[in-house]
A and B are shown apart, each in its own frame.
Chain A
Amino acid sequence: MHPDCGAESAGKGEEMNDLLTLICPSCGGLLQTSEGNTNTVCSHCDTPLLLQGVTRRYLIESAADATGVIRAVGKKLDEVSRGVFKYCRVGRPFLAYVPFWLVSCRVDGYVFGVKPVYKERKIRIPVENDRGGTQGTIVRVIKQRKGIRAEEHQISNEISMIISAANLEPLGIPSLGKNSQMGLKGMALGRSGTGLPLKVFDSEHLPGNAHVVDPSVSIAQARRESEEYVSRLCEGVGVGLEQRSTYLSVTGSKERLIHYPLWTVDYSFEKRHFRIVVDGVNCEVLRGTFPADYEHWKKVSGVLGSVWAGLLPLILLVIFSGILKMGPVLMFFILSLWGLGAVSLRFLNMAGKSAGMDNHI
């Protein structure tokens, strides 16, 4: 449970089966089954049921509301740009159900090729010193290709991947696809699902505040991307093989389109506009720009100003007391002033830099 917005978070380490709620045709009772199941048993009347036809489009309802999202943004702003939140003009949070393709399949196959065989030779090289004598020896290893060895590898694996079904760049979120499977830090939607209840997507019964983003990536494109990803992944089998031949059998392909809740919060600070994206499931801030911490710069300036204000009477006293006529004292005085000035400037520079740079997540 998220402390700010009360959103449930998916358990880590447990099997991430997405839950689907259906109605039993025998008794009319609600039956809950894992998404992807082909059959189930009604817990009310014990009737085994066959689930025909594949539902590919689902929606995960947002567990967070606008107030919870603003609270999460406020907490993050307080954490990253201390003291800024009270000066910000925060706009109304906007909820969008963003589509993602979740593709999974089984890959079996073989990879043939030849692997170069190297011969290693160690050579001792004497190291001369300045006087022309021998100081010691260093050992260099020379790797020489001496032949090849034929190899046959078997591939057998289950692969899951996530592909953005819409362009997320306007939200400041990198699109996920064949080249990027790193996922988004903090996002509850993983490659194997969410572990959260899924609702069959019904365009006539969408949540009241829903702005549903239509997918711009077709299922054919998603399949193509997943195939490319699978072949790229299988390249890892038998790394370094030459004259490589790969034979892959892809079975049990399953694609599902999930509309995932993402909140965007726009706010302005000192006539500059910023945007933050918040996960609607676990209320984590996924992406966003945070204004520079002016408070820090003000504090540093204040402390330095007080130090110099306190030193000024002392400096004047030393100058007019006449003790500067003594050479060593003058030297010490100048060096001390120079040192203090340099340190102050360095602190001011650092604080100024952090005040001029926005933070990105």
Chain B
Amino acid sequence: MRITRLVCGSCGSPLRGLGTDVIFVCTGCGSGWLGEETGLKSVPIEHRAKPGAGIALPFWRISAAVHVLKRTVRKEFTSTILTLDSRYDRNALQEKTRETGGSSQRREFIFPAFSVNGLPGIGVSLSEKSSLLPPVLEETWDYPGVPGGSLSRSDGEILARCIAIGQETEKSDWLAEIELVISAVSSSIVVLPCVQEVEKINVADTGVSFFRRSVLRWDQILEFSRGEA
């Protein structure tokens, strides 16, 4: 194991985070860094959390080309045996599905870069509401510490595919089967202000929330943020 000093490659300030973090944000110059096997790698970052406006948490923003090769949906919500040829015939059940055709489009996924249960669902909601995100902050001299970023870039790209499938399930039809390929075009970190409201954590003003207990290291995140404040 190689042990090196964890300092910002741009300004030399010490980088701090939780023990399991792989995403680091410099509080001196605001640059973002990813801890990889070979060392620290720079990552584009958008600061949208004003200092003191809540707990600044990291989110992945992945822009990707999504190719839906095959999408099969069920024709109706509930089918009864009366409309089928046979009660248990698998082929008969399959007749109740139809293909909606493939598509190719560029999508942008925003989802937590920290470990949280229900991540695909949060990612689907947040990606939909990307227009409601707070504006990118102008250059400021005071950047908040951003704890909890434990999902690497490669993990983010894998999860982007999962969220793309989640977006397909959100459509009004009932998905039966899907073949989908995504190729990530760009990835960056978005720092968003999150506000704790009793048991719920609200993400900026997007209306998207998740439960405090579903974040695996919430107590450590809170302790870190209080320490920073």
Contacts and interface: CB of A to CB of B under 8 A. Distances in A.
Contact of B79 (A36, A112, A148, A156): A148
Interface stretch (A47-55, A132-140, A216-224, A285-293): A47-55
B77 interface: yes
A245 B176 contact: yes
A25 interface: yes
A38 interface: yes
A308 interface: no
A115 B36 CA distance: 44
B79 A147 contact: yes
B1 A39 contact: no
Contacts of A338: none
B117 A157 contact: yes
Interface in A94-122: 106, 108-110, 112, 114, 117
Interface residues of A, number: 49
A106 B177 contact: no
A247 B169 CA distance: 12
Given A110-B169, A245-B177, A53 B115 contact: no
A110 B118 CA distance: 11
A321 interface: no
11 contacts: A39-B19, A48-B7, A49-B4, A49-B6, A50-B5, A52-B4, A52-B35, A52-B37, A112-B169, A247-B162, A252-B151
A106 B159 CA distance: 10
A306 to B, nearest CB: 67
Interface string B135-168: 0000000000000001110010011011001100
Interface string A222-261: 0000000000000000000011010101111000000000
Interface SS, B side: mixed
Contact of B4 (A25, A112, A156, A250): A25
Tell me which of A36, A49, A158 has the highest count of chain B C-beta atoms within 10 A of its own C-beta: A49
A25 B162 contact: no
B49 interface: no
Contacts of A39: 6, 15, 17, 19, 21, 24, 35
B151 A47 contact: no
Interface string B211-224: 00000100000000
Contact of B216 (A33, A146, A148, A158): A158
Interface of A: 22-26, 33-34, 36-41, 47-55, 106, 108-110, 112, 114, 117, 145-150, 152, 154, 156-158, 200, 242-243, 245, 247, 249-252
Interface of B: 1-7, 14-17, 19-22, 24, 35, 37-40, 74, 77-81, 87-88, 90, 93-94, 115, 117-121, 150-152, 155, 158-159, 161-162, 165-166, 169, 174-178, 216
Contact of A158 (B6, B39, B115, B175): B115
B78 A50 contact: no
Given A109-B162, A110-B165, 17 more contacts: A25-B3, A38-B19, A48-B16, A49-B4, A50-B6, A52-B1, A112-B169, A112-B177, A114-B74, A147-B79, A147-B80, A148-B79, A154-B118, A156-B120, A247-B162, A251-B159, A252-B151
Contacts of B177: 112, 245
B169 A50 contact: no
Contact of A252 (B14, B40, B115): B115
A22 B1 contact: yes
B119 A108 contact: yes
A145 B87 contact: yes
Contacts of A34: 19
Contacts of A156: 117-121
Nearest to A147: B80
Contacts of A36: 20
B156 to A, nearest CB: 8
A49 B5 contact: yes
A37 B20 contact: yes
Contacts of B80: 146-147
A114 B176 CA distance: 9
Given A39-B35, A147-B78, A110 B3 contact: no
Nearest to A242: B93
A139 B138 CA distance: 74
Contact of A150 (B19, B78, B165): B78
Contacts of B22: 38
Contacts of A114: 74, 93
Contact of B39 (A50, A148, A245, A250): A50
Given A39-B6, A109-B162, A243-B176, A48 B78 contact: no
Nearest to B24: A39
Contact of B159 (A26, A33, A112, A249): A249
Nearest to B176: A112
Contacts of A23: 3
